[in-house]
Structure 1
Amino acid sequence: MPTINFLTSNKKIEVPKESNILRMSLRYDCELPNRCGGGICGTCVCKIEEGAENLDKVKVQERRKLGEEWLEKGYRLGCQTFVNEGDVAISWDEEVTKQVKRRKPDKIKRTVSTGSR
Structure 2
Amino acid sequence: MIKVTFLTNGGKTVTAPENSNLLRVSLREQGGIPFKCGGGLCGTCKCRIEKGIENTDAIKPKERKHLTEEQFAAGYRMACQTFLTGSVSVSWTPRPALQPVGRVAVDGD
Whether TM exceeds 0.5 here: the answer is: yes
Maintained 8 Å contact 2:60/2:81: yes
Three-state SS of the structure 1 residue aligned to 2:89 is strand
What pairs up with 1:1-117 in 2 under 5 angstroms? 1-9=1-9, 10-84=11-85, 86-94=86-94
Distance 1:38 1:69 in 2: 23
**Matched residue SS, 1:65:** coil
3-state DSSP class of the match of 1:58? coil
Shift of 1:81: 0.1
**1:25 is aligned with what amino acid?**
S
TM normalised by structure 1 equals 0.76
Shift of 1:94: 3.8
Task: Give the residue type in structure 1 aligned to 2:92.
Answer: W
Q: Does the aligned pair in 2 maintain the 1:55–1:82 contact within 8 Å?
A: yes
Q: Counterparts of 1:54 and 1:73 in 2: how far apart (Å)?
A: 15
Alignment size in residue pairs: 94
User: Normalized per residue, which structure has more helix?
Assistant: 1
The worse-fitting range, judged by mean Cα deviation, of 64-73 and 36-45 is 64-73
Deviation at 1:52, TM superposition (A): 0.5
Aligned twin of 1:111: none
Q: Tell whether the 8 Å contact from 1:63 to 1:71 is kept in structure 2 after alignment.
A: no
* Identity across matched positions, percent: 49
Instruction: Give the superposition deviation at 1:93.
Output: 1.2
| Residue 67 of structure 1: how far off its partner (Å) | 2.2
**CA apart distance, 1:48:** 0.6
Larger Rg: 2
CA contact (8 A) 2:8 2:94 kept: no
**SS of aligned partner of 1:66:** coil
Query: After superposition, what is the alpha-carbon deviation per residue over 1:40-82, rounded to whole angstroms, capped at 9, x for unaligned?
Result: 1111100010000011010011112112121122100000000
What TM-score comes out, normalization by structure 2 length? Answer: 0.81
